């Protein structure tokens, strides 16, 4: 059975992206989600959220906790790669035409190849 770990940094980055998209302060996030400001600060410092905070924040941000579970041997689990998943999302974005999606795909693939660690 593969070892699985929660990607707290990725979760925080996703929360921050939702917060910025909604033009909210972290204080407003705390109010709207029901998660204390101190819990949000701990998450920003790399601490894992407790299960109730995780559930509340996922519900508030419309995120799935499953998206932040990282299997250490993910190359063999039959799942599409992170790159493939990202590209699929851009292809499905109604705000992008085919040419824009193609251009974005080339940029992301190039950046990914240049930055990946293995």
C-alpha–C-alpha distance, residues 50 and 112, integer Å? 32
| Range name among 26-40, 70-84, 86-100, 102-116 with the lowest pLDDT average | 70-84
What mean pLDDT is predicted for residues 1-7? 76
| Contact yes or no for 8/48 (Cβ under 8 A) | yes
What CA–CA distance (Å, rounded) separates 34 from 53? Answer: 8
| Strand partners of residue 69 | 6
In 3D, which of 8, 5, 87 has the Cα closest to residue 46?
Answer: 8
- Beta 4-6 vs 69-71: how paired, if at all? antiparallel
Among all chains, which residue has been given the structure tokens 């996703």?
A: 14
Are residues 85 and 74 in contact, defined by beta-carbon separation less than 8 angstroms?
no
Predicted local distance difference test score (pLDDT) of residue 48: 93
The pLDDT score that the predictor gives to residue 1 is: 52
Task: Please report the pLDDT score of residue 18 as a whole number.
Answer: 94
The CATH class, in words, for 4-71 is: mainly alpha
Sorted by where each begins, the domain ranges of the chain are 4-71, 80-115
Exposure pattern of 48-68 as b/e (b: 16+ CB <10 Å)? Answer: ebeeebbebbbebbebeeeeb
Q: What is the pLDDT of residues 63-91, one digit of tens each?
A: 999 888 877 654 555 667 788 888 888 88
């Amino acid at each position: 059975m593969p070892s699985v770990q929660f990607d707290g940094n990725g979760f925080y980055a996703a929360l921050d992206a939702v917060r910025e998209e909604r033009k909210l302060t972290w204080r407003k996030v705390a109010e709207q989600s029901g998660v204390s400001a101190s819990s949000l600060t701990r998450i920003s410092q790399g601490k894992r959220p407790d299960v109730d905070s995780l559930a509340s924040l996922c519900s508030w941000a419309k995120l799935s906790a499953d998206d932040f579970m990282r299997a250490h041997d993910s190359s063999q689990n039959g799942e599409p790669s992170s790159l493939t998943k990202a590209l699929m999302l851009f292809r499905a974005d109604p705000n992008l035409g085919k040419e824009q999606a193609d251009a974005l795909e080339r940029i992301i693939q190039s950046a990914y190849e240049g930055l990946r660690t293995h």
